[in-house]
Amino acid sequence: MEHNAQQAQKEKIMEHNTQQSKHATSRRSFLRKGLVVGGAGVIGAGVGVGGTELFTNVVTASAAAGSGSLTKGDVAILTFAAAIEILETDLWRQYNELGGIQDSEVPGGSGSAAYTKALLVLDGDMSQYIHDNTEDEISHFTFLNAYLDSKGADPVNLDKFRNLPSSKATGAQHIGRLTNLMQLTVDTSWWTRLRSRTKNPDFGDTFPQAIPSLSTGKFPAIPRHDGDLSPNDHIQAIANTAGFHFGFIEQGGSSLYPTLAQGATNLEVLRVLLSIGPVETSHFQTWHDKAGNAPALTDPTNGLVFPNLNASPFGGEDFQTNLIMPEPTVFLSRKFPAVSIIRPTQIAESGGAVATVKAWTADGLFIGQSQEFLALINKLAVQADAARRGF
């Protein structure tokens, strides 16, 4: 019996280790508490019976610690990340309903043939990629919320803000949305930022737009209604807009996670951030490649111009469409040799949560959202940016 009980206890400990919940900080706080409250006696008693009991005490102490095992900063980072992932999921679902693959993994909608065909001009696998990006975002917010919950912190739920209209185009679901894909002003400077060999946004540098006319005005990235399905250059311009918007969104995630990670305290939280962030980058790399295939055209309905990025006055290292891997550039200090890196990653300045919310707001994603929503998302961003290692 005793052996079985011990075995069960060991298994419990192993399970605890596998889940890697809270033990890093809580062990420290247990040891600190032990030294203060019980002195060496507490630790000594555990060590005296072979170490297992000490660890059991640690586990018990950490289980009792609840959400206390994550710092306020860690909770703020994970909460903001969960909110961003919910918003990403909302926008990707809208893309998937009309231009992706609707199945049991990503249900909802029935597709728009003309929009899907226009997206396929960018790549024959666009529908699959849109589907997979959507599924990834669903998994990101679902995991982050479950993880927050497991630590006794509140999961994020933005359902009360699902008040924005759906597209009226055939194929879209008619449900309330969190994000607006029908009046976008897409910042396409990510294109040139990653090609520059001498500049870095963390040094305050700015970068030219790849598609200047997409960065001013308001344009749909999904058909707003079936009237948007023609003429051909109009629906292609909508698909091209989506192509560059995909890159805009996912490069944001690529910078956000490494930036937030620098404020994390708990090693497991760091592991979570370092494991999700590169998936945003793998999305981005795909979209960067596909955006370069957007055909040059002028939308006859609104004058939106997609230039040939390989020809004058574009072209060269800043615009050439097959230069999709980040060029080496200045990092940390100009005294170091240029290095190929994700940028920005400077916490709470050019990168980070507030910068992300600002960029998404300027993008038009929140047009029509309530002040309450904007206040909440901004507050979560400020709190996430305020997180510092050890606090």
Binding residues vs Fe ion (CB under 5 A): 85, 137, 140
Residue 302 main-chain phi, psi, to 5 deg: -145, 0
Query: Shortest gap between Cβ of 276 and Fe ion (angstroms)?
Result: 6
**In the complex with Fe ion, which residue's Cβ is closer, 85 or 299?**
85
Q: How do beta strands 305-306 and 297-298 pair?
A: antiparallel
The tokens 């500049």 sit on which residue? Answer: 199
**In the complex with Fe ion, which residue's Cβ is closer, 93 or 195?**
93
**In the complex with Fe ion, which residue's Cβ is closer, 74 or 137?**
137
List all residues 6 or more positions away from 369 whose beta carbon is below 8 Å from its beta carbon.
Answer: 161, 163, 164, 178, 180
**In the complex with Fe ion, which residue's Cβ is closer, 86 or 182?**
86
Query: Shortest gap between Cβ of 46 and Fe ion (angstroms)?
Result: 42
Query: Shortest gap between Cβ of 200 and Fe ion (angstroms)?
Result: 24
Of 252, 80, 109, 244, whose CA–CA distance to 177 is shortest? 109
**In the complex with Fe ion, which residue's Cβ is closer, 137 or 385?**
137
**In the complex with Fe ion, which residue's Cβ is closer, 182 or 273?**
273
Alpha helices in 121-266 (DSSP H): 126-150, 190-193, 232-261
Query: Shortest gap between Cβ of 380 and Fe ion (angstroms)?
Result: 16
CB atoms within 10 A of CB 215: 17
List all residues 6 or more positions away from 72 whose beta carbon is below 8 Å from its beta carbon.
Answer: 387, 391
Query: Shortest gap between Cβ of 40 and Fe ion (angstroms)?
Result: 47
3-state secondary structure of 164: strand
Of 283, 280, 310, 285, whose CA–CA distance to 295 is shortest? 310
3-state secondary structure of 213: helix
Query: Shortest gap between Cβ of 287 and Fe ion (angstroms)?
Result: 13
